[in-house]
Structure 1
Amino acid sequence: MTNQMVSTVEDKVLILEREFNAPRELVFQAFTQAEHLKHWWGPRGWTLPVCHVDFRVGGVWHYCMKCEDKNQGDYYGMESWGKAVYSEIVVPEKIVYVDFFSDAEGNEAENMPSTRVMLTFIETETGTKLINRGEYASAESLQQVLDMGMMEGITDTWNRLAEHLESIQKSS
């Protein structure tokens, strides 16, 4: 699959766009159901041992990514907890949520930036264009997550999503 992600930074907003060769309903479901998310969320070498999705306005998605790849050195065995609180859902067009770094209990990490994320799913002739608009409190907060390697992580994650969508469609 050759569809590459395009990223744009505008002050405190990061916009990511990519087309996936899959129907819009399927791409939407991949973001809303634990059984899908477990297959692709997180960079390569990381798994999702915890994934609780309460997909409704006001609902929470709480998850843990864990590095299972010994080749990733210091990251091996590391856990990264996250929490999303859904604020708007339009099936199968849009999901809006605030994304937080958290702990295993779901407490938000105060020293880490949160992100207001708007996912837009647009039907195209060949599949679905996904636009992820992430808004941070400040340009500095955005820079903080970029410095942590977030672009590499999200690129890897979306590549895994593309592979997951392809494998589902082949098996159906």
Structure 2
Amino acid sequence: MTENNTTSKVTSYAEGRDLIMERTFDAPRELVFKVFTEPEHLEQWWGPEGWQTTVKKFELKPDGIWHYCMRCEDKDQGDFYGQESWGKSVYHEIVEPEKIVYTDMFSDAEGNTNENMPGIKITMTFIEQSGKTKIVTRSEFPSEEDLKKIMEMGVVEGTASQYECLDDYLKEIQ
């Protein structure tokens, strides 16, 4: 499955069971890396537009856990309003300010992994480009079927919305 797609400044394509998404931000690499690695920053922008994130646990180290909840606070999102979506990530590798490797999973409020949804190994690369930062995210799914399932759920559109929130936040703090 190979498909090139551009959604709101996010370029995405699939290679086998991998989804690659790219986006460039008008901010220095150290700052972009920082807002991905400090919980007080993540709570300001993580999640799609209209959702608020609360960090329950955050350990930025190999085998460390990030456990968080995204809650829809936008009444205009219909049935999503008031809904919670819990996530859990386990970090594998952190190379400041170049790379973060982790496994992302759906979970419940206690941090128990949702076994009905695939865990996704994610490698984020932060590339310096003359004062700007290009993020390349490679998400490795257990199978092509799992990739297709998550794409049908709107992962690219959700990431594009989330990156718009990040873009706005970066403008605020620079």
TM-score range (shorter-chain normalised) is: over 0.9
Mind listing any 5+ residue stretches in structure 2 that lack a counterpart?
1-7
Large movers: runs of 4+ above 4 Å: none
Distance in 2 of aligned mates of 1:158 and 1:29: 15
User: Could you tell me whether the CA contact under 8 Å between 1:38 and 1:51 is conserved in 2?
Assistant: no
Contact 2:39 2:55 in 1 (8 A): no
Map Cα deviations across residues 14-38 of structure 1 (whole Å, 9 max, x no partner).
0011111111110001111111111
Name the residue aligned to 1:15: 20
Q: 1:13 Cα shift?
A: 0.4
Q: Say yes or no: does 1:45 pair with 2:45.
A: no
Gaps spanning 5+ residues in structure 1: where? none
CA RMSD of aligned residues (A): 1.1
Q: Is the 8 A contact 2:29 2:131 kept in 1?
A: no
Listed one character per residue, the Cα deviations across residues 71-103 of structure 1 (whole Å, up to 9, x for unaligned) are 111111100000000001111100000000000
Which residue does the alignment assign to 2:5?
none
Q: How does 1:58-69 map to 2 (within 5 A)?
A: 58-69=63-74
Alpha carbons 1:34, 1:51 under 8 Å: kept: no
1:149 Cα offset (Å) = 1.5
Distance in structure 1 (CA, Å) of the matches to 2:125 and 2:156: 19
Report the CA distance between 1:51 and its aligned residue: 4.2
Count of residue pairs brought into register by the alignment: 167
Structure 1 counterpart SS, 2:41: helix
Contact in 2 for aligned 1:32/1:53 (Cα 8 Å): no
Aligned-pair identity (%): 53
- Name the amino acid aligned to 1:119: M
Native 8 Å contact 2:46 2:53 kept in 1: yes
Contact 2:55–2:66, Cα closer than 8 Å, also in 1: no
- 1:33 corresponds to which of 34, 38, 42: 38
**1:146 Cα deviation (Å)?**
1.0
